[in-house]
A = this chain, B = another copy of it.
Amino acid sequence: MTTRWLTPEEQRAWRAYIAASHLLEDAIDRQLQQEAGMPHVYYSILANLSEAPDRRLRMTDLAERTKITRSRLTYAVTRLEKDGAVRREGCPSDKRGSTAVLTDEGMTLLERTAPGHVDTVRAALFDRLTPEQVGQLEEICASVARGLEGDDTQAPPDDVPWLRRSPGPCT
């Protein structure tokens, strides 16, 4: 089968996407590096931990939520541990396992820096979109993510209690 090239519309969308995602990640990384002294991924790790029950998560679980590789996570957690934002604990039930725990210090850091981060995300993204566009973006991204995640068919969990409370440093 000969290649189905991108249509002009698709090309425009693709180029726009590449540009936007680079610019957005750069802006967010810069801002967080300034205010929190860490790149966006690291911040996300803390944010994910802060939402987990008991502020703790197994490494693999955390890697899946943040969509990063386990080895990347190992490195990141080691760094965050040095910073005092995270602590590692062994898993009693499975001695291979290791659990990352958000420390109080980490939580404080998160609370201190969340407002600035949200402001940045707002300024760069949401304040520029109509409510319909926000919905469209979610649809599109969810669809793509579903396609790229291992199992294309599993529905997302729609009742995660500790995710229900709305405001928080959850970005």
Contact = CB atoms under 8 A, between A and B. Distances in A.
Interface of A: 3-27, 44, 66-68, 114-115, 118-119, 121-126, 128-129, 131, 133-145, 147-149, 166-168, 170-171
B67 A118 contact: no
10 contacts: A3-B119, A13-B134, A14-B171, A16-B145, A17-B141, A20-B142, A22-B66, A22-B68, A23-B145, A125-B144
Nearest 4 A/B pairs, CB to CB: A16-B141, A20-B141, A5-B167, A22-B67
A24 B149 CA distance: 10
A132 B133 CA distance: 12
Contact of A134 (B5, B9, B118): B9
